[in-house]
Amino acid sequence: MKRRDLIRKLKTNGYRKAREGHDHTIFTAPNRRPVQVPRHNEINENTARKILKDAGLK
């Protein structure tokens, strides 16, 4: 999955960029867990699924 597609899904569900880490970007939403998105153009499908699951979207 492309990084920008994953970020688009997070943003449409209320997540906003909180801060930039060293290798990750951290997104937060009210009353939800913060999630980390790695800075790669392509994100492994398993990793993307886990990020979406942690965000409560799957």
Q: What is the pLDDT of residue 38?
A: 97
On whether the pTM is more than 0.75, the answer is yes
Residues 6+ apart with CB under 8 A from 56: 32, 33
Q: What is the pLDDT of residue 15?
A: 97
d(CA 25, CA 6): 12
Per the structure, the count of domains in the chain is 1
| pLDDT over 90 (residue 58) | no
The distance in angstroms from the start CA to the end CA of the chain is 15
Residue 43 has φ and ψ, to the nearest 5°, of -110, 130
Copy the structure tokens of residue 39. 């800075």
Q: What is the mean pLDDT of residues 17-40?
A: 95
Domain coverage including residue 18: 3-54
Residue 51 has φ and ψ, to the nearest 5°, of -60, -45
43: domain CATH number is: 3.30.920.30
Q: What is the pLDDT of residue 23?
A: 94
Q: What is the mean pLDDT of residues 14-27?
A: 95
Q: What is the mean pLDDT of residues 33-40?
A: 96
